[in-house]
Structure 1
Amino acid sequence: MTEAERALIRNSQNGDKGAFGELVVRFGDYVFSVVFRLVNEEHASEDIVQETFIKAWQKIKRYKFEKGKFTTWLYVIASRLALDYLRGRKKNVSIGVESDIGSESVSELETKELGAYIRKVCDQLSLTQKLVFVLRDLEELSVDEVVKITGFSEKKIKDNLYVARQRVRVRINAFLNS
C-alpha cells in the first residue's frame, strides 16, 4: 500500500468524503472483478459493489492497517454481500456468449466462449467452492488472504479448492474436446 493510499484511508477515517471517494475510484474495479466472478450478473454486481462501498464507509473507522491489506478488508465485505445475494437468488442464470462475429476473430470468439463457459461451470460449484476458486485461482489471492476474507481454515480452503479445480478441469476438458 502506498503512502498516498494510507493517507486517503486515514482521512476517510476522519470523515473526509472526498478521500473516500478517491478510494472508491482506486479500488472499485478490483471489487467489481471479484463480485462479478462470483455473481456473473453485471447489474447485480454493480449493486453489490455500491453496497460494499456504503458498508466500507460506515465501517472505515474499524479498519486497522496492522491487521491486513485494505483490499483484503474490502474483499471480505464484497464477498459476503455477494454470497448473501447468491443464497437469496432463486435460480442460477445461465451465461450466454454475446459476440459480433463480423468484428472479432475466431480466436477472440473462442476465448470469450471459454470464459463464458468457465463462468457457467463456476455457477455449478457449491458457494464455498465457488468463493474459494474465484478468490484463489481467478483473483490470484494468496491462501492467507483467502483465509482472512472467508474466515475459513486453510484446510477447508485447500479441500474446497481441490474439489472445485477437479470439477472445473473435467468440464473444461469435455468442453474443449467437444
Structure 2
Amino acid sequence: MQLPWSRSVDSAPDPTPEELIRRVALGDEAAFETLYDAVAPTIFGLVRRVVRDEAQSEEVTQEVFVEIWQQAARFDADRGKALSWILVIAHRRAVDRVRASQASADRDLRQGIKEYRDSYDDVAETVELRLESERVAKALESLTETQREAITLAYYGGHTHREVATMLDVPVGTVKTRIRDGMIRLRDKLGVA
C-alpha cells in the first residue's frame, strides 16, 4: 500500500529546464521533446506579441527550437536561467523577423517607386521625343524639295553623301551644298545654336 505523501520509485521529479538543456546539448532527443512541450507555448506567445502574424510566429518559433538544439552546449547556468536564455533567443529571432519583413517591405516600396519613375520617365521622354519630331517635321516642310530630299536620305536614311548623290543622280558637291543649306535653314527655324 502506498501512502498519498509517499512517492513511488517510478515518479521522479520533472527535470528542470536547465537539466533538459544540458541533456539536449548531449543530443538527447527525448529531453528536447520534453523541453519543447514545456516551453513552446511560452515561446510562441512571446514571438506572437512581437511578430503579430501567426504563420510567421510559428516559423520563428520553429527557428528558435532549431537554434536551441544547435546551441544548447553554449548555455551557461552560471549566467542565468535556461528559460531566460531561451526567451532571449526567441525575442531576438522575433525582432530579426520584424526587421527583415520591414526591410523587405521597404525594398519593395523603393523598387515600386523606381519602376514607377522609370515608366513615368519613359512616357515623358516619349512625349518629348514625339513633340520634337513634330517640330523637326514642320521645320523640314520649310525647306526646298531638293534640300528636304537630300537631308532625308542622309540623316533619316543613313546614306553617305556619295550614296545620296548616286540616288539623286547629282554631283556629290551639289548634295553637300543642299544638305548644308538645308541644315542652316533648319537651325534657324528650330532656334538651335
- Normalised by the length of structure 2, the TM-score is 0.44
Larger Rg: 2
Higher relative contact order (CA 8 A, sep 6+): 1
- Normalised by the length of structure 1, the TM-score is 0.47
